[in-house]
Chains A and B, each alone.
Chain A
């Protein structure tokens, strides 16, 4: 037992290795939120009239809403007037090449291990890096442009491809969707925009890195991915934030649209600062992610590894509208110390012969609370819908909690919907088995946890899988239930 205590202590002291801040000149706008701020953000980005209208509508709607209370989370009251809604690394006169980009900023990305610099390009990822709220640099743009792929920040897209943005923005997550979606729609500052034209298979992984750097800021980015007929793209998203005592707010929106036979694979490794071991500080991560399989035979796949954030509130969802469309959701959520996570997915079956597959693995340790919340809905017209959900929870330590809240709503008699869930701790038998073969308890637990999460981690693209595995080890190595 003493050993266990010691080991548990070790995990709780697992340090957040991305907790540095970067001294870059940052341009703020005043804290607080009102119509003037919304107008100011819009003006700063030189936005067209329709987008300002969209923001204002969203803001007015947001004012009528209250913070949702239904999640299994204990969210301290957030004063939305104390947050700065726009913080951008200050622009020096037109950086034309990488040499002119703030070297401090480049160092930040070096620390994050992002292959932003040209010489690293052959690593083969196109990266859109977003610090605080503004997209800093997008790599590989030219190479992508050859294929007709658009990969840029959303503010560039607003200027360069206003029709596309206008057509699709808010079509999957309308600003009326929920409290945080409305907030994001009002104040979003940047994000990534991807358009894959008909018949194009994106030759490389697209990736965006989010980092909250400045103090007292919220990050509200917006990602829009459109995959036209017969196209394919794999998109990666990573997040970090510096260590701070105050809580920082992150409320993002991701929208994905797939047309006929298109496929989008969206992977996230979320490692926002989770707060210290007393639960002080950390990022509040309130994210709305949703994709629509608009065309027949299309597919959207969400994979997420959630290890960071003080509070996570996130449900990447699929609307399976096209016939024979497929939605997938693979998730590993790790909570430690005083972290709280309420995460899961929604699969809405609308088209015929639609399929969805959900695998969710929760690991909770310390004093944390980890919940899976998912909805599988089959509407009356969705003939032959098929769903299988599996959500397992692993408990480490006797002060944490693991919860599952699956909702199944079936309105069609040809549907087959299955859900199974288990909750347990690492069995002593398994550890004993490893012990007697000379593997220390610590390694045995690492082995078991990695095996437990393998099913999901295998779905990640190679580069991310390595990082995800490392993250799991940082948060949990040596822990014994």
Chain B
């Protein structure tokens, strides 16, 4: 419990400091989660859900925490240019764990849409936020999430009222910046009301090569017949530890697409929990990771089919090179009365190097009988005979392998429903495979590597 002790003491000592830079609504939830965390501590590798990732060790580093919400005096709009060409997004920033307040929007948001700092908005609209905040995250046994609830002071809040369609993609950039080793606990809340629709792109970046740890929790509520797209793109560096937890609750006939793409990272843990709480709701959950060196991507997904007639489709692909390791743990749970469920899960992985390791555990738990469920998982390499076929037609070995790898991840890219974003991801993926991603983009001072 050594790693925990420093945070337990920190919390007890600075509780009033933490509270004073957050909202009373967020403060109300702290005590329960702190007790939960103090009792159970960080997850360790004896825990079935954390077999292949040592988060205890990551958290035991000596990180700075910006509990006093010191303003870093940066203008992200100036030096951050990693925008997606042609996407025309509404851009928001969270620097470490604080929402960047001087929002400059190129376009106006549709009427009634609220987007901004979770801290400020929960002061302004306490009743609205109270009925959603921590409602999904509270029930988890994952102590990193409770750790977040105990320490989080700010984050991003998005509210799309009934029937409103936000055409342009909303882009949230999570940026680590500080010049010292830092930890950030930020909290996002997304509420999409009945018949509304929105798309959110969440990018993760680190400005310097310091040891950063980001522990971010996002809760999403999708109303009846609403549509929501959630794209997460991680492009940081090898020293970065990213723990992201996404909780989704879907009402009747809602449609959700989630895609998590990890291009460059150090250690990544992605938790996704989707609750299909209304009949005829559907979710498409996809993701890919391209890892080399000593990078590690650990994905843990749970899809709860709580109601009948829902469908879910899950597709994760990993390409591992160097001494990278990947872990995938996908769980589909079909409750007793969730008849006519359709749930399909696929996980495919390529190991390009002898030292690359892949651990996969796709599992189904089914308590209803009238269902159609399947899962499949493979671990393998690029097919020699296919490479030979391409070479015999005059394509060099390197290019042949590239082609096959692009083809391999293509169907994950196709899950993305924003054409401009899809093109950009394709480009980034190509750059990643060619090892060109660490070059600075024009006009950008972000050190992606």
Contacts and interface: CB of A to CB of B under 8 A. Distances in A.
A393 interface: yes
A413 B336 CA distance: 40
Interface string B366-389: 111111111111111100000000
B364 A423 contact: yes
A424 interface: yes
A421 B375 contact: yes
A398 B376 contact: no
B339 A398 contact: yes
A417 B378 contact: yes
B48 interface: yes
Contact of A424 (B355, B365, B373, B380): B373
Contacts of B365: 72, 401, 403
A70 B47 CA distance: 10
Interface string B332-344: 0000110100000
A421 B331 CA distance: 13
A130 interface: no
A410 B358 contact: yes
B14 interface: no
Contact of B379 (A393, A399, A405, A410): A410
A216 to B, nearest CB: 34
A466 interface: no
A64 interface: no
Contact of A413 (B351, B363, B366, B372): B351
B381 A404 contact: no
A415 B379 contact: yes
Nearest to A426: B369
A479 to B, nearest CB: 11
Contacts of A404: 362-364, 375
Nearest to A427: B372
B356 interface: yes
Contacts of A72: 365
A400 B368 CA distance: 7
A318 interface: no
Contacts of A420: 374-377
Interface in B324-362: 336-337, 339, 349, 351-362
15 contacts: A395-B366, A396-B369, A400-B367, A408-B361, A408-B379, A410-B357, A414-B354, A415-B351, A415-B380, A418-B380, A419-B377, A421-B376, A423-B366, A423-B371, A423-B372
Nearest to A373: B363
Contacts of B376: 418-421
A407 interface: yes
A242 interface: no
A466 B336 CA distance: 35
Contacts of B371: 395, 423-425
Contacts of A23: none
A411 interface: yes
Contacts of B370: 398, 425, 481
Contacts of B337: 398
A114 to B, nearest CB: 37
A70 B48 contact: yes
Interface in A41-88: 70, 72
A358 B137 CA distance: 38
Contacts of A461: none
A119 interface: no
Contact of B359 (A395, A398, A403, A408): A408
A138 interface: no
A21 B357 CA distance: 54
Contacts of A98: none
Contacts of B48: 70
A269 to B, nearest CB: 26
B314 to A, nearest CB: 13
Contact of B366 (A401, A405, A406, A481): A401
A413 B381 contact: yes
B373 A423 contact: yes
Nearest to B333: A403
Given A408-B359, A411-B357, A418 B377 contact: yes
Given A396-B369, A413-B353, A416-B379, A423 B374 contact: yes
A380 B353 CA distance: 11
Contacts of A415: 351, 379-380
A448 to B, nearest CB: 15
A409 B381 CA distance: 15
Contacts of A407: 359-361
A240 B69 CA distance: 70
Given A404-B364, A405-B361, 16 more contacts: A72-B365, A380-B354, A398-B337, A399-B336, A402-B364, A403-B366, A406-B362, A409-B357, A409-B359, A410-B358, A414-B381, A417-B377, A420-B375, A421-B375, A421-B376, A481-B370
Contacts of B380: 415-418
Contacts of A409: 357-359
Contacts of A408: 358-361, 377, 379
A332 B387 CA distance: 40
A402 B341 CA distance: 14
Contacts of B369: 395-398, 400, 425, 481
A9 to B, nearest CB: 16
Task: Pick the 10 closest A-B CB pairs, nearest first.
Answer: A395-B369, A413-B351, A423-B373, A410-B379, A420-B376, A416-B380, A417-B379, A401-B367, A405-B363, A422-B374
A398 B367 CA distance: 7
Contact of A418 (B353, B367, B372, B378): B378
Nearest to A376: B379
A406 B364 CA distance: 9
B366 A402 contact: yes
Nearest to A425: B369
A120 to B, nearest CB: 43
Question: Which of B353, B362, B366, B373 is most buried by chain A, counting CB atoms within 10 A of its CB?
Answer: B366
A228 to B, nearest CB: 35
Contacts of B378: 416-419
B354 A413 contact: yes
A407 B328 CA distance: 10
A403 B362 contact: no
Nearest to B368: A398
Contact of A406 (B351, B363, B372): B363
Nearest to A424: B372
A411 B355 CA distance: 7
Interface string B25-54: 000000000000000000000001000000
Given A380-B354, A398-B369, A416 B361 contact: no
A412 interface: yes
Contacts of A425: 369-371
Contacts of A399: 336
Contacts of A417: 377-380
A33 B103 CA distance: 72
B375 to A, nearest CB: 5
Interface string B212-252: 00000000000000000000000000000000000000000
